[in-house]
Amino acid sequence: MAIDYAERIPNNVNLAEDRRLRRALEQWQPGFQSWWREMGPAGYQATEVYLRTAISVDAQGWATFGHVRMPDYRWGIFLAEPHRDRTIPFGRHLGEPVWYEVPGEYRGALRRLIVTQGDTEPASVEQQRHLGATCPSLYDLRNLFQVNVEEGRHLWAMVYLLHAYFGRDGREEADTLLVRRSGSPDNPRILGAFNEPTPDWLSYLMFTFFTDRDGKYQLASLAESAFDPLSRTCRFMLTEEAHHMFVGETGVGRVVQRTCELMKEHDTADVGPFGGIDLKLIQKYLNFHYSVSIDLFGSELSTNAANYFSMGLKGRFNETARADDHQLSEARYSVARCNGDRIVDQDEPALLALNECLRDSYAIDCARGVAKWNRTIKAAGIDFELTLPHRGFHRAIGDWAAVKVAPDGSIISAQEWERCRDQWLPTDAERAFVGSLMQGVTAPGKFAGWIAPPARGINHQPLDFDYVRL
Ligand code: BYC
């Protein structure tokens, strides 16, 4: 399972012995490189960045750190170690040996899942491409670029599957992944949140907390797949994803901490004039990013999700560890639904409610992070709590898209929504204000005034390390 770095495409899938596949991927590689130059981080292509690169896929020490120019980053194909004698953990093929090829009847569904997953990876790089100019520190700049190169690698992971297992259709889909563009009116990325702009660092930190966390839950569900190459590639992607969520959780935490410091120093909640971001405004950003991220789980009741599960393509979070029949033939699941002007918990077939079930696991995880930020606020002696808005708030997908819901979960009229919208979501003026705070800080060890320094550096390096050599 060693990673072969002597190859043009580093890999641990024995590419050297599969000439056709290697040639096909080598033909895709220049397209990826030109996409990276065109749509990757603007202005930093020639800069050396302190990046980690995978050197092995086992749990201990899979990464090495060093200064690298991003276009020279060794993007490659890394699958987690196989689990011996793995059997299918759910669905109608429960207990059968996992698949090493794609069953003909599931080809379309599986390709669609892989393409949807793959599409989010370049999309996020495109969304973040202008952030380098306004970084709050070299530490944060380096973390941004680490996330970006790894999203690029996640694209490689999905493209490998498309090329290796889906023939000509797969190659065409892989090409199309380089053609769609985040936010493009004509050729947008597939999922809603990946077409939203990420104009400032607060949006970016919220994105890495909330939207990358959708990635964690979707990848974990795909890691349960009967299609073993998908399972293994998702397992390794999850180890990389952990850093992305760390960036979000600690990043928003540092903004909250700095705001609290300014509040105490100036004895006011209105820290804008002192170069900070009010807790109320942080709450509005949180409302926005949580709501667009929970849309990514799809409709409350979904036959697509039921089919993916029954076919064995996509499981639940922690599927293997769950103590039930893993087929959900009789099981019911409680789903919050809108009934006129009331919200009621309704018992639904668990098989149809899989998107909601995954969204529930995700919401619990988000609440844990928010509670951590609240501990920072409480420790500062400030009487304020950040909260997750109700799941029906500001939704564009599923049942909730048809109604207007306040953050506290009350159903309101369209007029009431219009009246209160600006209390719940950032206004243009507030976004412009946050934008105005975004002045690039690039002296080693220095941090912008709206965010506290982190507790420690990356890979045991000091905070004033030259994470990016300008
Ligand atoms: N926007 O039955 P429904 C990540 C479509 S993030 C636009 O409700 P389903 C990352 C849906 O496609 C993880 N369209 O939903 C994070 C369907 O279209 P068709 C990404 C949407 O199919 C940060 C229709 O609405 N991975 O890795 O059960 C940085 C009705 O579908 C949306 C995955 O998503 C939306 N939000 O579930 C970098 C995993 N939601 O059939 C990376 C793979 C739904 O009418 N994807 N639609 O044309 C899936 O498992 C499923 O496609 C979804 C949707 C969970 C997304």
Residue 217 CA: which ligand 1 atom is closest?
Answer: 13
Ligand 1 atom closest to Cα of 123? 38
Q: Which ligand 1 atom is at minimum distance from the Cα of 207? A: 23
Quote the ligand 1 centre to 299 CA distance (angstroms): 9
Give the integer Cα–Cα distance in Å for 41 and 144.
9
**Secondary structure, 3-state, the chain:** CCCECCCCCCECCCHHHCHHHHHHHHHHHHHHHHHHHHHCCCCCCCCEEEEEEECCCCCCCCEEEEEEEHHHCCCCECCCCCCCCCECCCCCCCCCECECCCCHHHHHHHHHHHHHHHHHHHHHHHHCCCHHHHCCCHHHHHHHHHHHHHHHHHHHHHHHHHHHHCHHHHHHHHHHHCCCCCCCCCCCCCCHHHHCCCCCHHHHHHHHHHHHHHHHHHHHHHCCCCEHHHHHHHHHHHHHHHHHHHHHHHHHHHHHHHHHHHHHHHCCCCCHHHCCCCHHHHHHHHHHHHHHHHHHHCCCCCHHHHHHHHHCCCCCCCHHHCCCCCCCCCCEEEEEEEECCEEEEEEEECCCCHHHHHHHHHHHHHHHHHHHHHHHHHHCCCCCCCCCCCCCCCCCCCHHHHCEECCCCCEECHHHHHHHHHHHCCCHHHHHHHHHHCCCCCCCCCCCCCCCCCCCCHHHCCCCCCCEEC
- Amino acid letter, residue 458: I
Indicate whether residue 191 lines ligand 1 (CB < 6 A): yes
Nearest to 73, CA basis, from 156, 160, 163: 156
Lowest mean pLDDT among 56-70, 71-85, 94-108, 401-415: 56-70
Specify the pLDDT at position 433. Answer: 98
State yes or no: pLDDT of 57 exceeds 80.
no
Q: How many residues are recorded in the chain?
A: 470
What is the average pLDDT value for the chain, to the nearest integer? Answer: 96
pLDDT surpasses 90 at 80: yes
Residues 6 or more apart whose Cβ sits within 8 Å of residue 117: 158, 218, 219, 222
Among 211, 299, 348, 400, residue to substitute to test ligand 1 (most atoms within 8 Å of Cβ): 299
Q: 317 CA to middle of ligand 1, Å?
A: 16
Let me know: does 137 contact 438? Beta carbons within 8 Å.
no
* CB-ligand 1 contact for 241 (6 Å cutoff): no
Centre of ligand 1 from the C-alpha of residue 352, in Å: 15
- List C-alpha distances in Å: 350 to 337, 347, 463: 14, 8, 48
Q: Kindly state if the Cβ of 215 falls inside 6 Å of ligand 1.
A: yes
Q: Two tokens at 279?
A: 């807790």
* 449: phi then psi, degrees, rounded to nearest 5: -75, -10
Q: Which atom of ligand 1 is nearest to the CA of 213?
A: 16
What pLDDT, in 10s, does the model give residues 293-348? 999 999 999 999 999 999 999 999 999 999 999 999 999 999 999 888 889 999 99
Distance 191 CA to ligand 1 centre (A): 6
> What integer pLDDT is reported at residue 116 of this predicted model?
98
> For the segment 109-154, what is each residue's pLDDT rounded down to a tens digit?
999 999 999 999 999 999 999 999 999 999 999 999 999 999 999 9
- For residue 74, the tally of other CB atoms under 10 A from its CB is 17
C-alpha of residue 117 to centroid of ligand 1, in Å: 8
What is the three-state SS of 2-16? CCECCCCCCECCCHH
Mean local confidence (pLDDT), 226-245: 95
- Choose which residue among 239, 307, 355, 397 to substitute to test ligand 1 binding: the one with the highest number of ligand atoms within 8 A of its C-beta: 397
- Give residue-wise pLDDT tens across range 165-217: 999 999 999 999 999 999 999 999 999 999 999 999 999 999 999 999 999 99
- Nearest CA to 388 out of 415, 414, 360, 416 is that of 360
Q: Residue 443 C-alpha to ligand 1 middle, in angstroms?
A: 41
Average the pLDDT over each of 60-64, 318-322, 362-366, 401-405 and give the range with the smallest value: 60-64
How far is Cα 252 from Cα 245, in angstroms, rounded to an integer? 11
CA separation (Å) from 95 to 86, 327, 403? 9, 11, 42
**Per-residue model confidence as pLDDT tens digits over 261-287:** 999 999 999 999 999 999 999 999 999
28 CA to middle of ligand 1, Å? 25
Any atom of ligand 1 within 6 Å of the Cβ of 150: no
Which residue, judged by its Cα, is nearest atom 34 of ligand 1?
117
Predicted pLDDT at 324 = 94
Percent of the chain residues past pLDDT 70, beyond the cut? 99
Contacts 24+ apart (CB under 8 A), 182-187: 182/123, 182/124, 182/126, 182/127, 183/126, 183/127
Q: Model pTM?
A: 0.97
Q: Quote the ligand 1 centre to 298 CA distance (angstroms).
A: 6
| 11-21: pLDDT as tens digits | 999 999 999 99
- Distance between Cα 247 and ligand 1 center (Å): 24
pLDDT of 385 reads 98
116 within ligand 1 shell (Cβ under 6 A)? yes
Ligand 1 atom having least distance to the Cα of 355: 28
- Ligand 1 pocket mutation pick from 39, 111, 115, 116 by most atoms within 8 angstroms of CB: 116
Nearest residue (CA) to ligand 1, atom 5? 298
Pocket test for ligand 1, best of 182, 205, 221, 296 (most atoms within 8 A of CB): 296
The CB of 397 under 6 Å from ligand 1? The reply is yes
Judge whether 458 and 50 are in contact, CB under 8 Å.
yes
Dist CA 416 CA 413 (whole Å) = 5
Q: Ligand 1: which residue has its CA nearest to atom 26?
A: 117
- For Cα atoms 261, 262, 266, give the angle at the middle one, nearest 5 degrees: 120
Closest residue by Cα to atom 7, ligand 1, is: 191
Whether residue 423 has pLDDT greater than 80: yes
Ligand 1 proximity of 297 Cβ (cutoff 6 Å): yes
Residue with CA nearest ligand 1 atom 14? 191
